[in-house]
Amino acid sequence: MSAPSLDPEAQANSLRRAQVRRSLTRRNRAEARFRALGMVSALAALGFVAILFGNILSRGIPAFWQYSAVLNVTFDPAVVRVPERPVQGADQSDADYQTALLGWQRRFSMVNWNTLISRAVLDAAPAGVTADQRAVLSVIDSGARFVLRDLVLQDPSLIGQTVPVRLLASADADNWAKGKLDRSLPDERQQLSRPARDLIDAMTTQGSLQRSFAWHLFTNVDSRASPASAGLAGAFVGSLYMMLVVILASVPIGVSSAIYLEEFAPRNRFTDVIEVNINNLAAVPSIVFGLLGAAVFINLFRLPLSAPLVGGLVLTLMTLPTIIIATRSALRAVPPSLRQAALGIGASRTQMVFHHVLPVTYPGILTASILGVAQALGETAPLLLIGMNAFVANIPATPLEQSAALPVQIYLWQGNENRNFFEARTFAAIIVLLALMISLNALAIWLRGRLERKA
Amino acid sequence: MTSLLIAALVLIVLGLAYQQGAARSRALAGAGRLHSRPRYHGALVALWAAVPLLFVLALWGLVSGALEDWYIQPVVQANVASGDSLATALQRVQGLASGFGVSGQPAPWEIDAAQTLRAFQRQLQFSAIALGAILAIGGLLIARRRVSARLRARNHVEAAVRAALILCSVIAIFTTLGIVLSLLFETLRFFSFVSPAEFFFGTVWQPGYASTGSEATGGYGMVPLLVGTLMIASIAMLVAIPVGLMTAIWLTQYASRRVRTLLKPMIEILAGIPTIVYGFFALVTVGPFLSDLGDVIGLNITATSALTAGLVMGIMIIPFVSSLSDDIIRQVPSAMRDGSLGLGATKSETIRMVIFPAALPGIVGAILLAVSRAIGETMIVVLAAGNAPILRFNPFEATSSFTVTIVAALTGDSDFASPQSLVAFALGLTLFVLTLMLNIGALAVVRRYREQYE
Amino acid sequence: MDRQFRSPAAPAGPRIRPAQHDTVENPARITARDVDVFYGDKQAIFDVSMDIPEKSVTAFIGPSGCGKSTFLRCFNRMNDTIDICRVLGTITMDGEDIHDPALDVVELRARVGMVFQKPNPFPKSIYDNIAYGPRIHGLVNSRAETDELVISSLKKAGLYKEVADRLDAPGTGLSGGQQQRLCIARAIATGPEVILMDEPCSALDPIATAIVEDLIHELKEQYTIIIVTHSMQQAARVSQKTAFFHLGRLIEYDTTETIFVNPREAQTEAYITGRIG
């Protein structure tokens, strides 16, 4: 301690100390407030993630289990009356044969499969429960008749036999059994008639109507007539084709263009223009790419509407800037010493890039590409503009056929009139989409970690 | 089948040419030092052979359809009965020619025409392949003769590689050009129906359901859409800026390194979620919640409203703002921070009075980028804003935006050439110009900011 | 100890002559006892103890990475701002432990000003740069008081004449030497008793350095100054006491005269004659 003197300097010092000390309470309180505000913000952001995922999972997961019944269906020959399958005659043109075949298949569709279904349901129901055919049929998904039809089409020898078949409960029945419908509503406001509701309750208590994992969500295509059996298979394949187009087009083009700009391009106006252009393109709203697709690919080049090829091309143009920018920053991270070393031993510029620089940046480029593809996978708006919002109920065989895509399927399902049933199903589709995207991201992270350790 | 054959042909030509070039240069190697290694000679010869071949094949693929039509059309036209569609007749002939056949008994003249068409197709295909092959072999021979010890094959191959790379970089420019030209072109077509003055300053949005060719009916004033767009974007920014900025500040200045490495990626998850997911979340969860909340506090909030869309969009943009601000705040030299702390300032005083002002230009840039994102965002608004293009300023009611209207215009049943559809391009152009200006401004600000601290 | 360094056979570099100062030592203002500093698992300072006399200049010298800056930053607890940094031992100022939980670090830093290696004026006007400290500490209550304090601080830092007509111009627009004097003025404005200077001239040209050194010379009449420097000449010119650090240890601490003319330790000798560095 300095000697307690009364010289003016010491006085001034202690006065200042007192002033500082006096300001401390207020300032520390402000500090705590500010800090709390920051933490609250971060927690809020985190809370949004939690709420979003909690909401999606809690509402989507139940949709992965649906009610279905294993019914003993008797293919009564009296009901299933169909001719032999036509054989192509020697003089018959392919087109004529196709017509004949279609006609034959149409005969199958005209069989009254519903009779078989309602018989089988009543067989399975507990004794004493009665219901008219309409009520019985409202319990089973209307797609069931196609299941039976396809079974017989595949194996006509089934006619006359009794076989166990798993049939899905209808959307309404599923909702009722899951307790998603208000049981207190009067009859006239219920979607299902009273006998149908009683039948469902009886069958669920008895155990013939059970919940099981809805594999058909992944194997079936979309369906409007029979919502319970609607699935994502078409959307999967459509998205897969689009991702293939994106990978095949945007990765090579993006990486080449990044290599040129980073390693070869002279610093001049032209390169500046390309640079500014790429940066701006990265921030152009995705819907503008959709407009480009609609005007150029669809209207000018007359490419087919709703085709994964066109969707893929649009998404390619959209992801290109992302991949270019990410690849460039990966290239920029390569130390100049490596380049000088390569040039120093007499490699040409091209050799330096392809033999020395690219192998080092390969993990970064791979990660950038996967992230670009993941981004493209979730994009919806541009696809709507090139007609991909069309209802498509088959799996596209080629990228030029009409097709759905995962995010567009979500858009279509959320707009379905049967909100009660499709809300959960839309969440389920969202879970599938997010799971795919998260696995892509995880793959990117894992690959980067693995490859960087090796390098 | 044909495409497989052609692919095989190309591969064979490539392999043969490479082998020829490499072999010849290897043979020369005994005579003296080669300028380039044999594989470069091989690649050069392969290029000489494959480029003309691919060029011819591409040309054939592009023009063969048109050539065939041009060839067979007079034949069909001469035979087709007046009143029948020429296009249908053409299709039938093409169907017959392709071997798939047509339904019903084909007329004799159809079979004849189909046979001529088939013959022509064969000729065309043969001549394309023959021409391609001749050029390829010619290229191969020329290139093979040029192989010599002193030929700078590597330099030639590298020039070709470089040309390919340049071609790829130019695609980005073509994309922009394509966007600008297609938007401009279709917008001009739209302006032949509706005057620009009405479009830009009109306050009524009510496109009628007129059929193609007729005069445009109803109002095409974009002001209600602009107001809706800006209202939603403002609400989004009111959510995203404070939360995003404070999150960035807390993560960079207060959180321990462990918390930071844990939380930052978790918050950034929000950025990777597709917008359709946000849209649906807004529609089924946030909208009803806000509406119920409104009932409780005595406000009339519609489930799909500017507020719903803006709020959820704000959540989506939080990580965008926070990670950009994070980068920018961390670029402020730590000397600045130490200087303030060294004077006895508290952390929050340092942040508010030194770090934040220093980072402000960069943060403004980040916010401009975020605004441009909010304006161009589509799916959230499509699902959650209610699509009510009415000029009003109440955020609790349904509204519309540029993007919603673009989607509505192009996914409806209107003909592409009708003003109801074309207006999408006029709106798209406006949106493009708006976001472009924001982006250019933002990038300029951010760049200047970076230079300041480099 | 390795005596070889002292042997006459060893070529001695040119001796640096310290300036002649009054040799009366002022009473200790700051005392450090057994200070250890860790960065994570790595120890940067080993068991350092020393007394810093008031109203004089104490210089810390040593090869780069020897811990002299780290040790300097203990005196105003700037090391607190580094997450992984831990400081053990006691440092007292006027008998008070600066790590006392009852003592707010804000208060400590108001009393112990700091000037950094690179001039770091805030992106504000010259005026606001200087007014910043007094304002946040509540030392000024009116514009007139602030004006007075800003001007007197600028005068003390010898900068007033150069910037009197442009107090509203940004501080970043000044030359390097002026910026550093602005930072000194900024530190003075909060009325510190001790000023820590972390290589204040390393980013300056020789002329600016000379001006700052003269300033340090004047300031020691009023303030206790600790300066870290990589330039032995500078230490010799400005300081009364010098501490030589090597590999995180305090090797020798004595009057500047002794250190440069007649060091006890061979390592010190080796350093000041230029054989380690």
User: What are the tokens at B405?
Assistant: 């209207």
Going residue by residue through chain B (454 aa), what tens digit of pLDDT does each one get? Answer: 467 788 888 888 888 888 888 888 888 776 667 777 888 888 888 888 888 888 888 888 778 777 887 888 787 777 776 666 777 777 777 777 776 666 667 777 878 888 888 888 888 888 888 888 899 889 888 888 888 777 888 888 889 999 999 999 889 889 999 999 999 999 999 999 888 988 999 888 888 654 444 455 578 889 999 999 999 999 999 999 999 999 999 999 999 889 999 998 888 888 889 999 999 999 999 999 999 999 999 888 888 999 999 999 999 999 999 999 998 898 888 889 999 999 999 999 999 999 998 898 889 989 999 999 999 999 999 999 988 888 889 999 999 999 999 999 988 777 778 888 899 999 999 999 999 999 888 888 877 777 666 5
- In chain B, positions 40-69, which contact chain A (CB-CB < 8 Å)? none
List the helix and strand counts (H, then E) for chain B. Answer: 17, 2
Alpha carbon of B283: minimum distance to chain C alpha carbons (Å): 44
Mean residue pLDDT across chain A: 87
pLDDT of residue A287: 94
B172: nearest CA partner in chain A: A278
Cross-sheet strand order for the sheet of C85-93: C42-53, C28-39, C85-93, C96-97
Distance CA B362, CA B358 (A): 9
- Please say if the pLDDT value at position A6 is more than 70: no
In tens, the pLDDT along A50-104 reads 999 999 999 999 999 999 988 898 888 888 887 777 777 777 777 778 888 888 8
Residue ending a domain, choose from B132, B151, B170 = B151
- Please say if the pLDDT value at position A239 is more than 80: yes
Residue ending a domain, choose from B151, B173, B190 = B151
**Which amino acid, residue C263?**
P
- Tell me the β-bridge partners of B207: B218
Which residues have C-beta within 8 Å of that of residue C8, sequence separation ≥ 6? none
> Which among B257, B338, B344 has the least Cβ separation from residue C116?
B338
Which residues have C-beta within 8 Å of that of residue C24, sequence separation ≥ 6? none
Residues B129 and B10 in one domain: yes
- DSSP one-letter code for C28: E
Do the Cβ atoms of B201 and B221 come closer than 8 Å? yes
- DSSP one-letter code for A140: B
Cβ–Cβ of C113/B257 closer than 8 Å? Answer: no
Cα–Cα distance list, A377 to A298, A371, B313 (Å): 21, 10, 20
Is B210 domain-assigned? no
**Which amino acid, residue B90?**
L
**Which amino acid, residue B77?**
Q
Is B341 domain-assigned? yes
CA angle B341, C35, C23 (to 5 degrees): 90
Which residues have C-beta within 8 Å of that of residue B405, sequence separation ≥ 6? B205, B225, B387, B389, B423, B424, B427
Alpha helices in B80-152 (DSSP H): 86-98, 108-146
- Please say if the pLDDT value at position A328 is more than 70: yes
User: What are the tokens at A26?
Assistant: 């207020």
Distance CA B32, CA B153 (A): 16
Distance CA C276, CA A25 (A): 50
> Which among C106, C139, C222 has the least Cβ separation from residue A16?
C139
Is C63 domain-assigned? yes
Q: What letters, b where the CB count within 10 A reaches 16 and e where it falls short, cover A80-96?
A: bebeeeeeeeeeebebb
Sign of the CA dihedral B21, B27, B31, B34?
Answer: positive
CA angle A90, A93, A98 (to 5 degrees): 110
Domain count, chain B: 2
What's B375's domain CATH number? Answer: 1.10.3720.10
pLDDT of residue B444: 83
Say what the pTM is. 0.85
C93: nearest CA partner in chain A: A1
A32 touches chain C (CB under 8 A): no
Residue B215: half-sphere exposure toward Cβ, Cα within 13 Å: 4
Residue-range definition of the domain harbouring residue B234: 218-452
Distance CA C187, CA A325 (A): 44
CA angle B191, B192, B198 (to 5 degrees): 45
User: What are the tokens at B176?
Assistant: 């922009």
Is C64 domain-assigned? yes
Distance CA B386, CA A18 (A): 61
Cα–Cα distance list, C121 to B18, C162, C171 (Å): 65, 16, 6
Length of chain A: 455
Do the Cβ atoms of B374 and B402 come closer than 8 Å? no
Residue percentage of chain A with pLDDT more than 70? 98
Residue percentage of chain C with pLDDT more than 70? 91
Is B201 domain-assigned? no
Gyration radius of chain C over CA positions = 19
Domains of chain A, each with CATH number or no CATH: 67-212 (no CATH), 233-454 (1.10.3720.10)
Residues B147 and B222 in one domain: no
pLDDT of residue C11: 44
Confidence of residue A392 (pLDDT cuts 50, 70, 90): confident
Phi and psi angles of residue A233, each rounded to the nearest 5 degrees, phi first: -55, -45
Confidence of residue C1 (pLDDT cuts 50, 70, 90): very low
A16 touches chain C (CB under 8 A): yes
Residues B391 and B253 in one domain: yes
> Which among C27, C29, C107 has the least Cβ separation from residue A17?
C107
Do the Cβ atoms of B229 and B246 come closer than 8 Å? no
Distance CA C110, CA C16 (A): 36
- DSSP one-letter code for C229: -
What is the average pLDDT across C7-21? 52
C193: nearest CA partner in chain A: A13
- B319: closest CA among B358, B266, B281? B266
Residue ending a domain, choose from B129, B151, B173 = B151
Do the Cβ atoms of C195 and C115 come closer than 8 Å? yes
Confidence of residue A299 (pLDDT cuts 50, 70, 90): confident
A10 touches chain C (CB under 8 A): no
Alpha carbon of B197: minimum distance to chain C alpha carbons (Å): 46
**Numbered residues of chain C with Cβ closer than 8 Å to any chain A Cβ:** 27, 29, 54, 94-95, 104, 106-107, 110-111, 136-139, 190-191, 193, 222
- B216: closest CA among B413, B394, B414, B401? B414
- Please say if the pLDDT value at position C8 is more than 50: no
β-bridge pairing C57-61 and C241-246: parallel
Residues B146 and B271 in one domain: no
Residues B136 and B272 in one domain: no
pLDDT of residue C182: 94
- A196: closest CA among A139, A117, A145, A141? A139
- Please say if the pLDDT value at position A120 is more than 60: yes
Confidence of residue A126 (pLDDT cuts 50, 70, 90): confident
Residue-range definition of the domain harbouring residue C251: 31-272
- In chain B, positions 312-371, which contact chain C (CB-CB < 8 Å)? 333, 335-346, 349, 353-354, 357-358
Is C53 domain-assigned? yes
pLDDT of residue B31: 66
Alpha carbon of B82: minimum distance to chain A alpha carbons (Å): 25
B251 touches chain C (CB under 8 A): no
> Which among A1, A19, A24 has the least Cβ separation from residue C106?
A24
Is C10 domain-assigned? no
What's C186's domain CATH number? Answer: 3.40.50.300
**Reduced to 3 states, what is the DSSP secondary structure of residue C46?**
strand
In tens, the pLDDT along C95-145 reads 889 988 888 889 899 999 999 999 999 988 999 999 999 999 989 989 999
Cβ–Cβ of B354/C122 closer than 8 Å? Answer: yes
> Which among A9, A12, A24 has the least Cβ separation from residue C107?
A24
DSSP A70-95: EEEEE--TTT----PPP---TT--HH
- A308: closest CA among A241, A392, A358? A241
Which residues have C-beta within 8 Å of that of residue A425, sequence separation ≥ 6? A63, A217, A227, A230, A413
**C190 chain-A contacts, CB cut-off 8 A:** 16
Is C6 domain-assigned? no
In tens, the pLDDT along A265-275 reads 888 888 888 88
Cβ–Cβ of C108/B344 closer than 8 Å? Answer: yes
- Please say if the pLDDT value at position C59 is more than 90: yes
- Please say if the pLDDT value at position C9 is more than 80: no
- B207: closest CA among B395, B398, B379, B400? B400
pLDDT of residue C23: 54
pLDDT of residue B453: 62
Which residue out of A25, A250, A271, A288 would a mutagenesis test of the B interface target, given it has the greatest number of B Cβ atoms within 10 Å?
Answer: A288
The residue whose two tokens read 């976001």 is B435
H or E stretch covering C236: helix C232-238
Is C4 domain-assigned? no
- B385: closest CA among B290, B318, B251, B258? B290
**Which amino acid, residue C244?**
F
Domain count, chain C: 1
Which residues have C-beta within 8 Å of that of residue B420, sequence separation ≥ 6? B207, B208, B209, B210, B409, B412, B414
Cβ–Cβ of C138/A19 closer than 8 Å? Answer: yes
Which residues have C-beta within 8 Å of that of residue B224, sequence separation ≥ 6? B203, B204, B205, B389, B390, B391, B392, B400
